[in-house]
Chain A
Amino acid sequence: MGVIELLAQVIPPALFFSAPLIFTALGGVFSERSGVVNIGLEGLMVMGAFVGIVFNLTFADVLGPWTPWVSILVAMVVSAIFSVIHAVAAVSFRADQVVSGVAINFLALGLGIFLTKQFYGKGQTDMVTQPFYTTDIWFLSDIPFLGPIFFEGIYVISYISIILALVCWYIMYKTPFGLRLRAVGEHPMAADTNGISVTKMRYVAVIISGAFGGLGGSVFALTIALNFSHATIVGQGFMALAAVIFGKWHPLGAMGAALFFGFAQSLSVIGAGIPLLADVPQVFLLIAPYVLTILALAGFIGRSEAPRANGEPYIKGSR
């Protein structure tokens, strides 16, 4: 097997496993950079997956091939609204942010299954009829060598996630909004004295993380899972959170970490078809991403420093 065939076999699945993680991790970066710990990413993904699937099932006949695109937008909006709960608790009620994040996770799953049973009378939905499909990207797939590897049989949404990571980097590091966001997460009191509303910035950041988490969850549901049940989102949100920390709270770092996780996860799926990996017992491929992450964190990534005010409610006037 030639190198190109091998890469063409490895890279598209790696990209498509990564996309949901990239979206969600970017959401996590926004929230945590503003100083709000977001363990609730898992729950936000669950909500996104639930809304994405339900909307898709309901409107597939009306919207046709546009259904998945509209579905992920609706999932974004609903998850953004849902994340306001976390924002209210973490910012206004001065809740322990880890705790309210855990509550978000429980709530999303409970609500999702409860409503699924209400709507469909059973614990899981039917398969969607209008999921995302792979395509060859026009023109780019004709490029020799690179075309077959990167642009054939691929989900467009994978590239959107990478572009979004670049956009997020730009927003966070090149705009006044991004500067304020980071200031609020590092030193809220200094930001406050400069006239930046800590409360407002943190609300905005958490809501953005809700939208991105919902996007990630719905993309996962409409590319990989294709239905909603209690087993649709099992730990992807936590993986995204790991990507945030792994990527040192930087949008591009988080994207890189998410790509790495996606690549490692895809290995256990396609491993049987790759000569070198075919003889490895499957369990090693299954645990590889997690073990590698731990080793990477312990070895060459080094100490990860969170934004300084991460997890601390800001109380005006306190020192």
Chain B
Amino acid sequence: MTSNKMFNILVPVISVLIGLLSGAVIMLGFGYNPIEGYAALWEGAFGDMYFVGETVRQVTPYILTGLAVAFAFRTGLFNIGAEGQVIVGWLAAIWVGITFDLPMYIHLPFAVIVAALAGAIWGFIPGLLKARLGVHEVIVTIMLNYVALYSSNALIRSVLSDNQDKTDKIAATASLSSEWLQNLTFFSRMHYGILIAVFAAIIMWFLIERTSIGYELKSVGYNQHASKYAGMNVQRNIILAMVISGAFAGLAGAMEGLGTYGNMSVSSGFTNLGFDGIAVALLGANTAIGVILAAFLFGALKVGALNMPTEAGVPNELVDIIIALIIFFVASSYIIRWVLLRLKKGEK
């Protein structure tokens, strides 16, 4: 069984390596220099403090949406709705940020909590429908993504601004951004949100691994019928899992609203933070620590990719292909295990 634990770490690592290798092959195939390409990627992610700051900024919401998807997965639910929960969280944070006039030590936590609540409510709806009426959570969360997108656009135009395409900037007392961090990182958009994200990861770990609530949630994820037979309230656990999942995603919205942008714009499409969160959760094997590591990898890839077109002439979408392949190999872990076992046998 010890080798099983080793596999759990080896499979993601091998998947990442194969993904990067495939990326190199694709670059070669289209006549680019893969070494130049990856050098540009590295430079764009960690080249100087500015890029490091931008990478951390991107990692922050990825951790939170990753946690959101991972948390729901643990209870056997698939939350495609992190996207919508990010949007309502973002909107709620901005609303608190521009409407209220409070001292910072109340205003900022208030804005963050309201964002988490908004996300939680957006997660509560599919949770309730799944628990009480057996409606598939995948379809409800997909629908709610669109409802969130279009309604927040309408609210930005009509309520939060005067027919403008974006809201005002939030009050400084609600902002997560810090001059100190910006100076440190040559004026990147890095903000204190990363602390919240890491704290959220610790909460998830504690909740899942160290409390009876987490035990019940996992149990429902493994086998609903057995859990029910053991006296657990399956319906309540399903709702709770979606609410907590939504709260994490709502926090990710707060990071964008209070940290990175400081306002919210009308948008024709999704932020993709929620969808990328699915990839983060999958690579992170739905564990808190795994999600943090995966978020760092994908954040670095995404931010670093922006440097690839200018320095190496490689379209930055190459990184999307690499990420897709990594997920594909993680999903196909069975075959990686099989190959590894074959190799081991060969040694003997």
Chain B residue nearest to A85 (CB atoms) is B328
A241 to B154, CA, bound (A): 27
Residue of A107, A294, A298, A306 touching B321 (CB-CB under 8 A): A107
Question: Is B323's CB under 8 angstroms from A294's CB?
Answer: no
A103 to B136, CA, bound (A): 21
| 1/0 contact string of B310-341 vs chain A (CB within 8 Å) | 00000101111101110110111111000000
A304 to B324, CA, bound (A): 30
Contact of A173 with B by CB under 8 A: no
Q: How far is the CB of A114 from chain B (nearest CB, A)?
A: 4
Given known A287-B147, A298-B129, contact A103–B135 (CB-CB < 8 A): no
Question: Is A102's CB under 8 angstroms from B30's CB?
Answer: no
Interface hit among B138-146, B168-176, B198-206: B138-146
A72 to B73, CA, bound (A): 37
Contact of A238 with B by CB under 8 A: yes
Question: Is B324's CB under 8 angstroms from A103's CB?
Answer: yes
Residue of A98, A105, A231 touching B268 (CB-CB under 8 A): A231
Chain A residue nearest to B309 (CB atoms) is A117
Residue of B142, B145, B321, B331 touching A100 (CB-CB under 8 A): B331
Question: Is A95's CB under 8 angstroms from B334's CB?
Answer: yes
| 1/0 contact string of A112-149 vs chain B (CB within 8 Å) | 01100110000000000000000000000000000000
Question: Is A117's CB under 8 angstroms from B315's CB?
Answer: yes
Question: Is A110's CB under 8 angstroms from B269's CB?
Answer: no
Q: How far is the CB of A100 from chain B (nearest CB, A)?
A: 4
| Interface residue tally for chain B (C-beta within 8 Å) | 46
Chain A residue nearest to B155 (CB atoms) is A283
Residue of B125, B154, B269, B279 touching A234 (CB-CB under 8 A): B269
Question: Is A110's CB under 8 angstroms from B324's CB?
Answer: yes
Q: Which among B270, B315, B335 has the greatest number of chain A C-beta atoms within 10 A?
A: B315
Contact of B230 with A by CB under 8 A: no
For B153, what are the chain A residues with a Cβ–Cβ distance below 8 Å? 283
For B129, what are the chain A residues with a Cβ–Cβ distance below 8 Å? 294, 297-298
Q: Which among B145, B151, B279, B334 has the greatest number of chain A C-beta atoms within 10 A?
A: B334
Residue of A89, A113, A242, A291 touching B332 (CB-CB under 8 A): A89
A293 to B133, CA, bound (A): 14
Given known A106-B324, A231-B269, A297-B140, contact A291–B318 (CB-CB < 8 A): no
Given known A111-B321, A283-B150, contact A293–B143 (CB-CB < 8 A): yes
Q: How far is the CB of B102 from chain A (nearest CB, A)?
A: 30
Contact of B96 with A by CB under 8 A: no
| 1/0 contact string of A90-109 vs chain B (CB within 8 Å) | 00111110111011111101
Question: Is B334's CB under 8 angstroms from A291's CB?
Answer: no
Residues of A201-256 at the interface with B, using a CB-CB cut-off of 8 Å, are 231, 234-235, 238-239, 241-242, 245-246
Chain B residue nearest to A282 (CB atoms) is B154
Q: How far is the CB of A92 from chain B (nearest CB, A)?
A: 8
Contact of A10 with B by CB under 8 A: no
Q: How far is the CB of B65 from chain A (nearest CB, A)?
A: 14
For B333, what are the chain A residues with a Cβ–Cβ distance below 8 Å? 95
Contact of B78 with A by CB under 8 A: yes
Chain A residue nearest to B129 (CB atoms) is A298
For B133, what are the chain A residues with a Cβ–Cβ distance below 8 Å? 297-298, 302-303
Contact of A290 with B by CB under 8 A: yes
Chain A residue nearest to B132 (CB atoms) is A298
Given known A93-B335, A290-B147, A293-B143, contact A107–B154 (CB-CB < 8 A): no
Contact of B93 with A by CB under 8 A: no
A234 to B331, CA, bound (A): 24
For A241, what are the chain B residues with a Cβ–Cβ distance below 8 Å? 138-139, 142
Residue of A89, A92, A297 touching B328 (CB-CB under 8 A): A89
A41 to B279, CA, bound (A): 17
Question: Is A95's CB under 8 angstroms from B331's CB?
Answer: yes
For B135, what are the chain A residues with a Cβ–Cβ distance below 8 Å? 294, 297-298, 303-304
For B324, what are the chain A residues with a Cβ–Cβ distance below 8 Å? 103-107, 110
Question: Is B279's CB under 8 angstroms from A113's CB?
Answer: no
| 1/0 contact string of B158-195 vs chain A (CB within 8 Å) | 00000000000000000000000000000000000000
Question: Is B328's CB under 8 angstroms from A110's CB?
Answer: no
Chain B residue nearest to A286 (CB atoms) is B150
For B146, what are the chain A residues with a Cβ–Cβ distance below 8 Å? 235, 286-287, 290
Contact of B282 with A by CB under 8 A: yes
Question: Is B331's CB under 8 angstroms from A114's CB?
Answer: no
For B275, what are the chain A residues with a Cβ–Cβ distance below 8 Å? 105
Residues of A256-312 at the interface with B, using a CB-CB cut-off of 8 Å, are 281-283, 286-287, 290-291, 293-294, 297-298, 302-304, 306
For A106, what are the chain B residues with a Cβ–Cβ distance below 8 Å? 279, 320-321, 323-324, 327
Chain B residue nearest to A86 (CB atoms) is B328
Chain B residue nearest to A98 (CB atoms) is B78
Residue of B30, B139, B150, B331 touching A245 (CB-CB under 8 A): B139
Chain A residue nearest to B73 (CB atoms) is A98
Question: Is B330's CB under 8 angstroms from A290's CB?
Answer: no
Question: Is A95's CB under 8 angstroms from B332's CB?
Answer: yes
Question: Is A110's CB under 8 angstroms from B320's CB?
Answer: yes
A94 to B327, CA, bound (A): 14
Question: Is A118's CB under 8 angstroms from B30's CB?
Answer: yes
Q: How far is the CB of A151 from chain B (nearest CB, A)?
A: 32
For B109, what are the chain A residues with a Cβ–Cβ distance below 8 Å? none
Contact of B278 with A by CB under 8 A: yes
Question: Is A109's CB under 8 angstroms from B142's CB?
Answer: no
For A245, what are the chain B residues with a Cβ–Cβ distance below 8 Å? 136, 138-139
A95 to B275, CA, bound (A): 19
Q: How far is the CB of A205 from chain B (nearest CB, A)?
A: 19
Residues of B265-299 at the interface with A, using a CB-CB cut-off of 8 Å, are 268-270, 275, 278-279, 282
Q: Report 7 cross-chain contacts, Cβ distance below 8 Å, ordered by A residue.
A: A107-B325, A110-B324, A245-B139, A283-B153, A283-B154, A294-B143, A303-B134
Taking A109-B320, A110-B321 as known contacts, 9 extra A-B pairs with beta carbons closer than 8 A to each other, sorted by chain A number, are A95-B332, A103-B331, A106-B320, A117-B315, A234-B270, A283-B153, A290-B143, A298-B135, A302-B133
List 9 tightest A-B contacts by C-beta distance, closest first: A110-B320, A106-B324, A107-B324, A283-B154, A95-B331, A99-B331, A93-B332, A290-B143, A103-B328
